[in-house]
């Protein structure tokens, strides 16, 4: 089932596969899943979510997303009433499609099964709602949702702050001027979204990210303790 739904699994080394399977078991035992909007939960759904979430835990000492208790799964992209800031005093109101969401004080995460499945099926399209939402959960581990996860040393914190500030500023500038970017400009919203979007790119477009944002790639590589270039199915020329 993992092989079929989560293609990156086959490309991992044998020891990483073993480690991931161990994490998945703990994850499935610790988290509560709930089917919503008429969705009947299956093992396939839970394992497809768990496998992608646990990729973020490989090689690291981890507490399995301690702030997250419940995962609510809807059959498909769901609509929410939302007020969105456009510019200055201009706000846009209306129904927006959502693939997933989570919050620091929620203890819960909402995911749309169709987005989870398509995100897993194509591990190199740059979009992965599970990696995105679970990156937010990593961000919450040290309590603030500020785009900085728990980092081991003071040097790491300093380096992280410096690199993320620069990269975030350049994504904001690109967003304002309309320059095409590898990183989804949704990451220009705030530093927390920047970390989530950069995490998606790190696992989905590692070669491109390393070529175009080498310092950002190095920070994420040191935090995640892995190099997705080694197992990515991404096919690109970066020269
Ligand atoms: Zn987000």
Give pLDDT tens digits for 189-214: 999 999 999 999 999 999 999 999 99
Q: What is the predicted pLDDT for the residue at 91?
A: 67
Residue whose token pair is 């749309």? 112
Q: What is the predicted pLDDT for the residue at 106?
A: 80
pLDDT < 50: residue spans in the chain:
none
Write down the H helix ranges in 178-235: 191-204, 206-212, 214-224
Of 128, 140, 134, which is closest to residue 205 (Cα–Cα)?
128
Interval between CA 1 and ligand 1 midpoint (Å): 28
Q: What is the predicted pLDDT for the residue at 168?
A: 98
Tell me if 34 sits within 8 A of 149, measured CB to CB.
Answer: no
Q: What is the predicted pLDDT for the residue at 78?
A: 74
Interval between CA 190 and ligand 1 midpoint (Å): 9
Pair of tokens at residue 217: 């790639």
Taking the whole predicted model, whether its pTM rises above 0.85 is answered as: yes
Q: What is the predicted pLDDT for the residue at 201?
A: 97
Q: What is the predicted pLDDT for the residue at 124?
A: 87
Pair of tokens at residue 119: 């995100």
CA-to-CA distance for 143 and 225, rounded, in angstroms? 21
Stretch (H or E) spanning 100: strand 100-102
Q: What is the predicted pLDDT for the residue at 72?
A: 95
Q: What is the predicted pLDDT for the residue at 185?
A: 94
Interval between CA 102 and ligand 1 midpoint (Å): 8
Q: What is the predicted pLDDT for the residue at 105?
A: 77
Interval between CA 133 and ligand 1 midpoint (Å): 6
96 beta partners:
80
Interval between CA 179 and ligand 1 midpoint (Å): 22
80 beta partners:
96
Interval between CA 216 and ligand 1 midpoint (Å): 18
Interval between CA 200 and ligand 1 midpoint (Å): 11
Q: What is the predicted pLDDT for the residue at 99?
A: 84
Q: Could you give the 3-state DSSP secondary structure of residue 109?
A: strand
């Amino acid at each position: 089932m993992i092989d079929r739904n989560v293609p990156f699994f086959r490309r991992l080394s044998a020891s990483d596969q073993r480690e991931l399977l161990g994490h998945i078991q703990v994850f499935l035992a610790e988290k509560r899943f709930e089917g919503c909007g008429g969705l009947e939960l299956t093992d396939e759904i839970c394992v497809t979510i768990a496998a992608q979430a646990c990729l973020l835990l490989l090689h690291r000492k981890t507490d399995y997303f301690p702030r997250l208790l419940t995962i609510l799964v809807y059959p498909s992209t769901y609509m929410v009433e939302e007020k969105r800031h456009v510019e200055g005093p201009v706000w846009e109101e209306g129904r927006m499609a959502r693939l997933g969401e989570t919050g620091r004080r929620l203890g819960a995460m909402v995911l749309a099964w169709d987005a989870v499945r398509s995100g897993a099926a194509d591990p190199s399209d740059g979009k992965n709602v599970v990696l995105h939402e679970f990156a937010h959960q990593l961000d919450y581990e040290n309590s603030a949702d500020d785009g900085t996860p728990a980092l081991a040393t003071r040097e790491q914190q300093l380096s992280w702050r410096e690199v993320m500030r620069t990269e975030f500023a350049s994504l904001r500038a690109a967003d304002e001027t309309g320059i095409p970017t590898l990183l989804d400009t949704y990451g220009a919203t705030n530093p927390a979204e920047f970390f989530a979007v950069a995490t998606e790119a790190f696992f989905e477009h590692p070669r491109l990210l390393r070529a175009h944002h080498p310092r950002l790639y190095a920070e994420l590589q040191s935090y995640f303790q892995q190099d997705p270039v080694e197992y990515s199915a991404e096919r690109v020329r970066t020269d």
